[in-house]
Amino acid sequence: MPTDGGVAAVALAESAATKVAAYVHVPFCRRICPYCDFAVVAGTDLADRYVSAICAEIQRAEPFDDPLAAIAFGGGTPTALGPRALEQMLAAIESRFGVASDVEISIEANPEDLNPSTARELTAVGFGRISLGVQSFDDDVLSALGRVHTADQAWEAVGAARDTFASVNIDLIFGTPGEQLRSWESSVITALESGIDHLSTYSLTVERGTGLSRAVLAGAPAPDPDLQAEQWLRAADLAGGAGMVRYETSNYARAGHAVVYNLVTWAQGEYAAFGNGAHDHRDGLRSWNVRRVDRYIERIEQGDSAKSGSERLGPWEREVERVMLGLRRAAGVRAGAAGQRLVTSEGGVALRDAGILEVAGDRLRIARPLLGDGVSRALLALAPGDC
């Protein structure tokens, strides 16, 4: 399976460290999927006030020294807001922050909301990249996931997207209880045949407080990690066979379609973030907004900051974070102080012996991404040192 650890990929991954990005959260969904634990609400009751609040929050933000290399609208369902509202928020960002000439502007959408005409509206607003929450091309799996769209709708939506956007992604979820390996394979194959530029495969996780978690506690089947491992491997093979390159644990892209916004986050780059529950990273400080939509709006309307918490890592923790985030990429990460310490630590040696962690020159890579969290824990377990 081709994974991108080549020179160009390394350069691309590392260069994202100095890029800056912005994220806009749109929390509205038609209804809440049972596995979802994002900061979302059903319905669009607060939409108008929310859009005004976002614009106000953007106005108050400090611009970066450099123009933005990426802008991402996520959620929730950004398309729950009409093109005018999206345009208004995007314009606010562009005028406040300035954008690079090759800026990536992307939006998430659900298949039921995308048709040729909405697709054109979105590109007219300025979105060049779209990410579709297809999740599966199997209607049984879709209904098990509590999604409102069908496989046919998804296929139609992908077609509309491909005809309109410069770059199209599909999100797929694997490990839905009841989903067989065969079904997953055909979802992946269908996705690849639809002519997309980018594919994200996420494993279903049972998050506390969700409907799924309550069901599992009550005895419903949980995702099977062994089957998920098998599914991940199949997806990697199929995507590789279709000429896509895996550049992160869950992400595959054709040449030139790796997501800049993601690369910035994994390179420990800086980004501004707006909306309820949104997380930013600026001047070495990670902070996040209040999670509830109504509280967020109230705070902004009252002229207050919407921040509800922040975290400033010490130099060592920051170094550990750099390696942890960087290791998600197929390009790996420059070892640096934390990486060097890891390699010689007891845990690190065991990981190397097990063929999970690879050292090549001054870079570290995870050779078996499915076991990557073990590397992160070994990093976190290192005694703090100099860096």
Partner 1 sequence: MTDTSRIRNFSIIAHIDHGKSTLADRMLELTGAVTEREMRDQVLDTMDLERERGITIKAQSVRLDYRGPSGDFILNLIDTPGHVDFTYEVSRSLAACEGAILLVDAAQGVEAQTLANAYLAIESGLAIIPVLNKLDLPAADPDRVAVELASILDGDPGDVIRVSAKTGEGVAELMAQIVERLPAPTGSVDDELKALVFDSYYDTYRGVVCYVRVKSGLLATEDRIRFMATGEQQQADEVGVFTPSAEPVTSLGPGEVGYLVTGVKEIDRIKVGDTVTHEAAPAAAALPGYLEPTPMVFSGLFPTDGDEFERLRDALEKLRLNDTALVFEPETSRALGFGFRCGFLGLLHMEIVRERLEREYDLDLVATAPSVAFRVGLVGGGEREIKSPQDLPDPNERTEIHEPIVRVMIITPAEFTGTVMELLQQHRGVMGEMHYLSPERVELTYRVPLAEIVFGFFDQLKSRTRGYASLDYDPDGYAVADLARVDILLNGVPVDAFSAIIHKEKAYDYGRKLVAKLRQIIPRQMFDVPIQAAIGSRVIARETVKAKRKDVIAKCYGGDVTRKRKLLERQKEGKKRMKMVGRVEVPQEAFISVLQVDAD
125 binds partner 1 (CB under 8 A): no
Range 140-199, binding ligand SF4 (CB under 6 A): none
Longest dimension (CA), the chain: 58
CA 290 to CA 279: how far, in whole Å? Answer: 10
77 binds ligand SF4 (CB under 6 A): yes
Q: Identify the bridge partners of residue 92 per DSSP, sorted by sequence position.
A: none
Q: Within its chain, how far is the Cα of 109 from the centroid?
A: 13
Between residues 109 and 164, which has the closer beta carbon with respect to partner 1? 109
Among 328, 371, 363, smallest CA distance to 347 is for 371
3-state helix, strand, coil in the chain (%, to 5): 45, 25, 35
Contact 69, 21 (CB under 8 A): yes
Which residue in 44, 136, 176, 228 binds partner 1 (CB under 8 A)? 228
Between residues 60 and 377, which has the closer beta carbon with respect to partner 1? 377
Q: How does strand 363-366 pair with strand 285-289?
A: unpaired
31 binds partner 1 (CB under 8 A): no
> 289 contacts which partner out of ligand SF4, partner 1, none, CB within 5 to 8 A by kind?
none
311 binds partner 1 (CB under 8 A): yes
> 232 contacts which partner out of partner 1, ligand SF4, none, CB within 5 to 8 A by kind?
partner 1
**φ, ψ at 274 (rounded to 5°):** -130, 145
b vs e for 38-65, b when ≥16 Cβ sit within 10 Å of the residue's Cβ?
ebbbeebebbebbbbbbbbbbeebeebe
Least distance to ligand SF4, CB of residue 145, Å: 8
110 binds ligand SF4 (CB under 6 A): yes
Which residue in 5, 76, 175, 223 binds ligand SF4 (CB under 6 A)? 76
Which residue in 106, 250, 276, 289 binds partner 1 (CB under 8 A)? 250
36 binds ligand SF4 (CB under 6 A): yes
Between residues 43 and 225, which has the closer beta carbon with respect to partner 1? 225
> 273 contacts which partner out of ligand SF4, partner 1, none, CB within 5 to 8 A by kind?
partner 1
Binding residue count for ligand SF4, defined by CB under 6 A: 11
Least distance to ligand SF4, CB of residue 175, Å: 15
CA 139 to CA 178: how far, in whole Å? Answer: 12
Structure tokens at 296: 């967020």
CA 263 to CA 245: how far, in whole Å? Answer: 15
CA 273 to CA 275: how far, in whole Å? Answer: 7
Q: How does strand 68-75 pair with strand 99-109?
A: parallel
CA 369 to CA 137: how far, in whole Å? Answer: 25
Which residue in 5, 75, 326, 336 binds ligand SF4 (CB under 6 A)? 75
The residues binding partner 1 (CB under 8 A) are 23, 74, 171, 200-203, 205, 225-226, 228-230, 232, 249-250, 265, 271, 273, 278-281, 286, 288, 311, 321, 324-325, 350-351, 354, 356, 369-374, 376-377, 380-381
The residues binding ligand SF4 (CB under 6 A) are 29, 32-33, 36, 38, 40, 75-77, 110, 133
